[in-house]
Chains A and B, each alone.
Chain A
Amino acid sequence: MAVSDQDMATGIWNAAEGDEADARPHLGPRQRWARRKAILQQAAVLLLVAAVAVFVIRNTVVNLQARGLASGFDFLRQEAGFKMAFSLIAIDPTSTYGRIFLAGLLNSLLVAALAIVAATMLGFAVGLARVSPSAPVRYVARGYVELVRNLPLLLHLLLWQAVVLRSLPVVREAIGLGGFAFLSNRGLYLPAPVAGDAKAMVVAVAVATGIAAIVAGWSIRSRAQARGEAPPRLGLVLAAGGLVSNAAAIALLDWQVPVLAGFDFRGGLKLMPEFVSLVAALTIYNSAFVAEIVRAGVQSVARGQREAALALGLPPKLILRLVIVPQAMRVIIPPLANQYTHLIKASALATVVGFPDLVNVFLGTSLNQTGRAVEIAVITACVYLALSTSVALATSAYGRRVKLVER
């Protein structure tokens, strides 16, 4: 363990004894005692924790044995026998619990990803409005933030569900949106490309290159702007080419428009109302927090930066984008990542409205059907810990990069 003198002296735990202990070969009796004491203390704490762990595991084993409960992960290969209302991978009653787990996890990730993107966009807009030069805009943004963030997320969710269920028409009176999309309290029906088409591959490639071209074009333009040069023609051409390629690809696909048949619309893509209200509630609730993070970030940028940019003759629109936001991002990113972790965890509220997310289908239905409480709880815990750890790792990696740029 490589601990410098200074660290030892300022360490919080037991700093009084450890002030001069280091890796030098000749230790005085005091230092040796300090070292030994440190080791003893750690050993004691570790033992205590180990004892508690053993105690808990023992109890669990005794309790499970007393109840004669089966254990093991073999249930993941068993047939589950129930359907899911919404899944990204095909689920039918013959699917295994393992597949149900996967489908639930994907649903959770989908909700979290959509809500993160939407909450970030809405949050940045509101956050920048919070520092807008115009007072009314600031007040409106402040009102929004105060209204939204002081209500429990669960209330947001129940409210949205009530609104979606009660104010939208029943399926037979669905609102047509231009004849190809429909909205009812069964969900939002959108046209979808027919799957399994040989064209799909070509189209996917076309869309990907199109998007790449747009991004490249945009970045060339903005880089030129940053240097104060006239934007080169190439950027514009790339972006336009990308747009055309995308439009062509979309037109090329066979689109299936949802059609009302019997009880429900058939064909196309259907978004469950539970999904819609969950994403809406997560987005709106978190956008208020993102807005506050953005506001704090922008305010953290020294005034002199803006004044210097003005003095250099940078147009005010560009100051925000090229001077303020990049610097604010350093302050914004860590709490923003924290907020994302919150959001990912909060997506588990899906279980309250009945959207089949991981907690609902796995920690809920699967657990009740198989009775493997401990195994399922452990798997679920591991998934969420892995998710939050990966967000934390990504953030700290970003933090390191930003720091290098700074120095």
Chain B
Amino acid sequence: MKKTMLWGIVGLSVMATSALAGEGDRVKAIKDRGELVCGTSTGTTIGLSTLDASGKWAGLEIDYCRAVAAAMFGDPDKVKFAPLEFKNAFAALQSGSVDMLARAAAWTYTRDTEMKFDYAGVYMYDGQGFLVKKSLGVSKLADLNGASICVSAGTTTELNLSDYFRTNSLEYTPIVTNSREQNLANLEAGRCDAYTNERGGLAASRLGLSAPDEYVILDEIIAKEPLGPIVQQDDPAFRDIAAWTLFTLINAEEKGITSANVAEMATGSENPEIQRMLGKTGDFGVKLGLANDWVVKVISSVGNYGEIFDRNLGAGSPVKLARGQNELWSKGGLLYAPPVR
């Protein structure tokens, strides 16, 4: 019987150690690990997240993750990208196998409340549109009555599609797959008549088709798709870092801080807000648990929001997407970040 008791004690002590392990402290976990884990797409979302043949990631969402890594470690390469199919993405974030999702996931009520996520802002204001073959002669959504429509599994677009067609008494067959490349392959093969997704994403995806000119994006938008970085609710400090990294990218564009002039501005600028942002005065970094010059590291490694957009989706990229709503508020867009004060 002694042995039984011995084992009992072993068992109890195992339970006790597990009880000692505290609540999730995301920032500490990331710092202990020495790198950020960012959940991304499977690597074919042109403009947002792509993986090239040499294993390099690129895109707006990738640059955002690099910015967070630069903020936390002073090094934009201290980030690991975990490619996830959309239908696995939220489970991965919930389980903690990724720290953050930058994966073209729209901010919705359910995700924010029921799934207990936090959105750290919006890096892309988008809307759900439809990509169709020109030769079908479809000019408006009502023409798609009875069509087969490609859509990704587990997305808001899948639900919006169903809502829209139901409220407008239209018929359709959903062709649900797991990734953008499967949807595009289906569209090309004529397996489906239209592919529905965020319009920005569609504009980029169109370039991945063998004959982009034969396809057109319909003008109608059936739903708002505010895309932003998602974190868990377990560590408000991490949410703050994620949110202020995004705000900083936007504020930097507003203040004219670019990757080219940030070093010079850090020492030479007379503007008090810029001085606070770049850590010359005040404690902008310290309060977030970061180095005081973190913004310099972020901007010098990835640039400001405008530079990132340009490089990946805008004039400096093959996609040539107009800024539209993703323009600064001062220029008629929706980008509006809280001031550093």
Residues of A that sit less than 8 Å from B by CB? 40, 43-44, 47-48, 50-52, 54-55, 58-59, 62-63, 65-70, 81-85, 92-93, 165-166, 170-171, 185-186, 261-264, 266, 273, 351-354, 356, 360, 364-365, 367-371, 373
On chain B, the residues within 8 Å of A82 by CB distance are: 158-159, 162, 174
Question: In the complex, what's the smallest C-beta–C-beta distance from A179 to chain B, in angstroms?
Answer: 22
Q: Jot down 16 A-B pairs with beta carbons below 8 A, ordered by A.
A: A43-B7, A48-B10, A50-B11, A51-B15, A54-B14, A68-B116, A68-B233, A69-B115, A166-B189, A185-B190, A185-B191, A186-B191, A354-B177, A368-B91, A369-B154, A371-B94
Chain A residues whose CB sits within 8 angstroms of the CB of B115 once the complex forms = 69, 371
B234 at the interface (CB under 8 A from A): yes
A-B pairs, 10 with minimum CB distance: A368-B154, A51-B11, A170-B190, A371-B115, A354-B177, A364-B87, A165-B189, A263-B147, A93-B162, A68-B116
B340 on the interface (CB 8 Å rule)? no
Shortest C-beta distance, B165 to chain A (Å), equals 8
The number of residue pairs between A and B whose CB atoms lie closer than 8 Å in the complex comes to 159
A58-B15, A69-B94, A367-B87 known; A264-B8 Cβ under 8 A: no
Known contacts A81-B159, A82-B158: A62-B190 contact under CB 8 Å: no
Contact A365-B176, Cβ < 8 Å, known A40-B4, A44-B4, A165-B185: yes
- Residues in A with CB closer than 8 Å to B177 are 353-354
Bound together, the chains give a CA A52 to CA B14 distance in angstroms of 8
CA distance A63 to B232 in the complex (A): 11
The prevalent SS among residues of A at the interface is helix
B11 to chain A, nearest CB (A): 3
Whether A47 pairs with B7 at a CB distance below 8 angstroms is yes
Contact of B153 among A48, A170, A360, A371 (CB under 8 A): A360
Tell whether, in the assembled complex, residue A83 and residue B174 are in contact, meaning their CB atoms are under 8 Å apart.
yes
Chain A residues whose C-beta falls within 8 Å of the C-beta of B88 in the assembled complex: 364, 368
**Which partner residue on chain A sits nearest B173 by CB separation?**
A85
CA distance A351 to B91 in the complex (A): 16
Chain B residues contacting A44 (CB-CB under 8 Å) are 3-4, 7
Whether the Cβ atoms of A354 and B175 lie closer than 8 Å is yes
- The chain B residue with its CB closest to the CB of A59 is B18
- Is A47 touching B175 in the complex (CB atoms < 8 A)? no
- Find the A residue at minimum CB distance from B17: A55
CA distance A18 to B158 in the complex (A): 63
Which residues of B, 183-227, contact A by the 8 Å Cβ criterion?
185-186, 189-191, 193
Residues of B within 8 A of A92 (CB): 166
Min Cβ gap A72→B in Å is 12
Q: With CB as the reference atom, state the residue of chain B lying closest to A41.
A: B3
Cβ-neighbour of B234 out of A52, A66, A262, A367 (below 8 A): A66
Least CB distance from B82 to A in Å reads 16
CB <8 Å contact, B154 and A364: yes
A368 contact from B87, B95, B163, B193, Cβ within 8 A: B87
B147 interface neighbour in A65, A264, A351, Cβ under 8 Å = A264
Closest CB in chain A relative to B79 CB, distance in Å:
22
Is there an interface contact between A165 and B158, defined as CB atoms closer than 8 Å?
no
A371 CA to B233 CA, complexed, in Å: 14
Q: How far is the CB of A16 from chain B (nearest CB, A)?
A: 18
Q: B114 near A: Cβ within 8 Å?
A: yes
Interface stretch, picked from B19-27, B55-63, B242-250, is B19-27
Q: Which of A51, A85, A352, A356 contacts B10 (CB 8 A)?
A: A51
Nearest-CB residue, chain A, relative to B166: A93
In the bound complex, how far is the Cα of B159 from the Cα of A66, in angstroms? 29
Give the CA-CA distance A50 to B15 in the complex, in Å: 10
Cβ of B261 under 8 Å from chain A: no
From B96, which residue of chain A is reached at the shortest CB distance? A63
Q: How far is the CA of A166 from the CA of B190 in the complex (A)?
A: 9
Question: CB distance B162 to A83 under 8 Å?
Answer: yes
B86 in the interface (beta carbon within 8 A) = yes
Min C-beta distance of B175 to chain A, whole Å: 6
User: Smallest Cβ distance from B103 to chain A, in angstroms?
Assistant: 11
